[in-house]
A = this chain, B = another copy of it.
Amino acid sequence: VTLDDVARRVGVSARTVSRVVNDEGGCTPETRDRILDAIAELGYRPNLMARGLIRRRSDTIGLVAAELLDPFFPEFADGVQAAAASIGRTIFLVSTDSDRSRQHRALTSLLGHGVDGVIVFPAHDSRNDLVRFAADGLPIVVLNDEIDAPRIAVVTAEIRHGATLAVDHLVERGRTRVAMLIDHHARGPDRPSRREAGYRAALERAGLRVDPDLIIEVDNSIAGGRVGAAALLALRRRPDAIFAYNDMIAIGALQHVVDQGLEVPDDIAVVGFDDIAMCEVVKPNLTSVRIDRDLLGRTAVETLTSLASADGEPLEPRRVSVELVVRQSS
Binding site for B on A (CB under 8 A): 43, 45-50, 52-53, 58, 60, 63, 68-69, 73-75, 77-78, 81-82, 85, 90-95, 102, 106, 108-114, 136, 222, 251, 255, 277-278, 280-283
A108 to B, closest residue via Cβ? B45
- A261 → chain B, closest Cβ, in Å? 15
Contact B112 A46 (CB under 8 A): yes
Please judge, given known A-B contacts A74-B68, A92-B91, whether A109 and B48 are in contact too, CB under 8 Å. yes
Q: Which of B45, B68, B90, B282 contacts A77 (CB 8 A)?
A: B68
Contact A81 B93 (CB under 8 A): yes
Please judge, given known A-B contacts A74-B69, A78-B95, whether A90 and B111 are in contact too, CB under 8 Å. no
CA distance A195 to B249 in the complex (A): 34
Contact B94 A48 (CB under 8 A): no
Contact B53 A68 (CB under 8 A): no
Copies of the chain in the assembly: 2
- A8 → chain B, closest Cβ, in Å? 20
Contacts of A91 in B (CB 8 A): 92-94
- A152 → chain B, closest Cβ, in Å? 18
Q: Which of B43, B255, B277 contacts A136 (CB 8 A)?
A: B43
Contact A48 B112 (CB under 8 A): yes
CA distance A53 to B46 in the complex (A): 12
> Can you name 20 extra interface pairs (CB under 8 A) apart from A68-B81, A82-B95, A92-B92?
A46-B112, A49-B58, A49-B114, A60-B113, A63-B93, A68-B77, A69-B74, A69-B75, A77-B93, A85-B94, A85-B95, A85-B102, A90-B110, A91-B92, A91-B94, A255-B281, A277-B278, A278-B278, A278-B281, A281-B282
CA distance A95 to B93 in the complex (A): 12
Please judge, given known A-B contacts A49-B52, A68-B81, A281-B281, whether A90 and B95 are in contact too, CB under 8 Å. no
- A223 → chain B, closest Cβ, in Å? 11
